[in-house]
Structure 1
Amino acid sequence: MFINKTVSSRFFKKSAFAVLAIMCAALPLYAGTQTAALSESTPVTAAAPDGKKLSSSALMSFPEIAKQTNSVLYWDALAGNGIFEKNGRFLSFSAHNSFVMLDCLEITPCSLPIKQGGTYYASRDFFDTVKNIFDTLPPEVHFRIGAILIDPGHGGQDPGAVADYTVNGKKQTLREKDVVLFTAKDLYNRLKEKYPDKKIMLTRSTDVFLTLNQRTDIANTVKLAEHEAILYVSLHANSAFYTKAKGFEVWYLSPGYRRTLIKSTGSDKDKDVRPILNSMMEEEFTTESILIAKYIQNGIKAQVGHLTTDRGLKEEEWFVVRNANMPSVLVELGFVTNEEEAMLLFDKDYLRKLSVGIYNGLTAFVTHFEESRGFTGGR
């Protein structure tokens, strides 16, 4: 998903935010309810650090700085610490330090805030420093979902789960490969219409056989632009010796499974850094896969929960989810071996409802992912 320099920018930015979150745990969002002196520039005269007098025009309140820089102010008056946030970037400052710090990484010297009558103010130098930092920042990076790959299981000489039933006096065979292909194609059409700017793909669109390796190779070789991600959704139908078993379930890769996502370049420095980045990426993929699974589970339940059983989320080391180097889930649409559910799986309208449920789950995840700029763990 995010390899090399992309993975660095994403995960190190996330780590920086974690530090900021600790710093700001007690910082209330300024909402104009604090002292009136903070609502606008206040004409006062105070002593500058060098002992000279500063005129009223040389002092500004922090809310006024936020207003003029189009940023959001988080301010803890008791501790004298604050943060200006703009376009996902965080500029932290303190009344006790003569510098500002961008995203917990870059420090820029500036004048010390000035306290007057119990309220802190900043000099024009402080304002100029904040404004200059925000004005010279490169355009914000937005991570987006660039591709969604739908993988209908089995096909060709591999029918998957099979069961024979008598429907309206005629013998009919319910085949997993047919159920998942119809559902996958319907899902494909819905996603294609929703996201004309994304790559929406099927591993197969006809009744052909693909090996498991071929399926994951397709997923792992999709070309993505920088800062783009791909999602992998494998569709299957279930079977069991216990014919009363019924319902849908969504699987994701066991969090404890270890795999190599970032290949080594052979350098000594890489040997130290790569395991850390690989572990961070694994954790990110796990988080995203669980979120996708939960969204899909909710989506299907909303559509057909009154007709069948929600068997919940499950984890397993299925071949396709452990070998697809991206967030991936496997959806079991129902049991072909349960006669009541089989009658539903014969019904094209029911399969469309399953498709709508998966579609709603995927679009909910895409919205969450892209609006949070790729920080799926939440803020």
Structure 2
Amino acid sequence: MKRLISFFIFLLSAINFFAATDISLLDKGEKSGMTIYWDPLSESGMIEKNGHQLLFRKGEQIVLLDSMKMMVTDAPELRDNKIFVSKKFLDDSEEFFNQKSELPFKVGAILIDAGHGGKDPGALKAYKIGGKTITIKEKDINLKVAKLLGERLQSSYPQKQIILTRNSDVFLSLGERTDIANNVKVGENEAVLFISIHVNSSLNKNSSGYEVWYLSPGYRRTVLDKSTVSDDKNLFPILNSMLEEEYTTESIMIAKFIMDGLQAQIGKESTARGIKAEEWFVVRNSNMPSVLIELGFVSNEKEALLLNDEKYLKKAALGIYNGIVAFITHFERSQGFTSIK
């Protein structure tokens, strides 16, 4: 991002604003081996090919390359809910995709946040188990799953930072959790993933199932350090918005992979409630791809007993692990999946 200098502003003014944008990006892109993602809410998209990512927005001439560099080309247009681009846009994109990466993209750190803890028990409910009244607490379930997940990830990825916001029954404020996340140091071309683990509760004792949340695309936050951008004040909001939308796209991908992993492991015993968007504090304040997982309802007796079962929690942790592995494989473009134990 340090290469973003005012020279690009000059290029921006020199672009032909009336370039013909009559090529369907979806049709042409898929034929040339591109994978295209589109978010209709933010009217932005991402193109992947040869291990590279290009982030674009409707009507914007600036595109973001591998989250690090910027390029100016013809602005894509949206007509009849279809994306149209010019030949120059495609030629510029192909030239970028055919470049050899100086450094491969990889996940440098995975932060696992066990929700609640200490004086904050989270959701809780008392049930009679084996003739004894036992209070099932969310904070305990979250910590057990976080530890199980952390152990698996550390075993499979010894070269990556696997960090737990807490590894004991201590209280951390929401701000402290996000500060831990945002202060993780990684190398160039390395990403940090934020996984927050929680358990649900409802006034309706029949509510059950697991779900994965990501930050609503309607929420706006600052994810880019202003010191890394040139002095032009008009450039910062454009780049910040594009990088934020990339985080949202990647968060949705992580959510889908984790949902698939959970469904494979506990789908026969619990119900998939789907992938949802919300403005959770720990998610909206984390400057990285991030998701929040609700493993089930302690207010539902049947599900609460499952969440109190070590074997069930091991399966849930495995499901989350498999989802993260699938995302890392996708993100790093490896030749094969990491071995799952």
Superposition TM-score, scaled by structure 1 size: 0.64
Shift of 1:261: 1.1
Match of 1:339 among 277, 288, 301: 301
Structure 2 residue runs without a partner (length 5+): 5-22, 34-48, 54-90, 336-341
Partner AA of 1:177 in structure 2:
K
Report the 3-state secondary structure (helix = DSSP H, G, I; strand = E; otherwise coil) of the residue aligned with 2:241. Answer: helix
Against the structure 1 CA distance between its residues 166 and 187, is the aligned structure 2 distance closer, same or farther, given a 3 Å change threshold? same
Shift of 1:240: 0.6
Whether the 8 Å contact between 2:229 and 2:236 is mirrored in structure 1 is no
Structure 1: 4+ residue segments shifted above 6 A: 26-30, 85-89
Match of 2:237 among 252, 258, 275: 275
Partner AA of 1:201 in structure 2:
I
Inter-partner Cα distance in structure 2 for 1:204 and 1:214: 11
Against the structure 1 CA distance between its residues 310 and 29, is the aligned structure 2 distance closer, same or farther, given a 3 Å change threshold? closer
Report the 3-state secondary structure (helix = DSSP H, G, I; strand = E; otherwise coil) of the residue aligned with 1:158. Answer: coil
Whether the 8 Å contact between 2:51 and 2:332 is mirrored in structure 1 is no
Q: How does 1:2-41 map to 2 (within 5 A)?
A: 4-5=2-3, 22=25, 25=28
Inter-partner Cα distance in structure 2 for 1:159 and 1:269: 47
Structure-2 residue corresponding to 1:211: 173
Q: Does 1:261 align with 2:223?
A: yes
Q: Does 1:301 align with 2:259?
A: no
Q: Does 1:190 align with 2:149?
A: no
Inter-partner Cα distance in structure 2 for 1:338 and 1:306: 16
Report the 3-state secondary structure (helix = DSSP H, G, I; strand = E; otherwise coil) of the residue aligned with 1:251. Answer: strand
Shift of 1:264: 2.4
Match of 2:209 among 231, 247, 269: 247
Q: Does 1:199 align with 2:161?
A: yes
Shift of 1:143: 1.1
Larger RCO (CA within 8 A; separation ≥ 6) = 2
Against the structure 1 CA distance between its residues 270 and 332, is the aligned structure 2 distance closer, same or farther, given a 3 Å change threshold? same
Against the structure 1 CA distance between its residues 276 and 348, is the aligned structure 2 distance closer, same or farther, given a 3 Å change threshold? same
Inter-partner Cα distance in structure 2 for 1:148 and 1:262: 20
Structure-1 residue corresponding to 2:314: 352
Q: Does 1:175 align with 2:129?
A: no
Cα distance per residue 1:32-90 (max 9 Å; x no partner) = xxxxxxxxxxxxxxxxxxxxxxxxxxxxxxxxxxxxxxxxxxxxxxxxxxxxx98869x
Whether the 8 Å contact between 1:264 and 1:271 is mirrored in structure 2 is no
Q: How does 1:1-379 map to 2 (within 5 A)?
A: 4-5=2-3, 22=25, 25=28, 140-265=102-227, 269-371=231-333
Shift of 1:141: 3.1
Q: Identity over aligned residues, as a percent?
A: 53
Whether the 8 Å contact between 2:51 and 2:333 is mirrored in structure 1 is no
Cα distance per residue 1:209-255 (max 9 Å; x no partner) = 00000000000000110010000000000001111101100000001
Report the 3-state secondary structure (helix = DSSP H, G, I; strand = E; otherwise coil) of the residue aligned with 2:133. Answer: strand
Superposition TM-score, scaled by structure 2 size: 0.71
Partner AA of 2:225 in structure 1:
K
Larger radius of gyration: 1
Against the structure 1 CA distance between its residues 244 and 139, is the aligned structure 2 distance closer, same or farther, given a 3 Å change threshold? closer
Shift of 1:269: 3.6
Against the structure 1 CA distance between its residues 5 and 337, is the aligned structure 2 distance closer, same or farther, given a 3 Å change threshold? farther
Aligned length: 266
Inter-partner Cα distance in structure 2 for 1:247 and 1:296: 14
Q: RMSD across aligned C-alpha pairs, in angstroms? A: 3.1
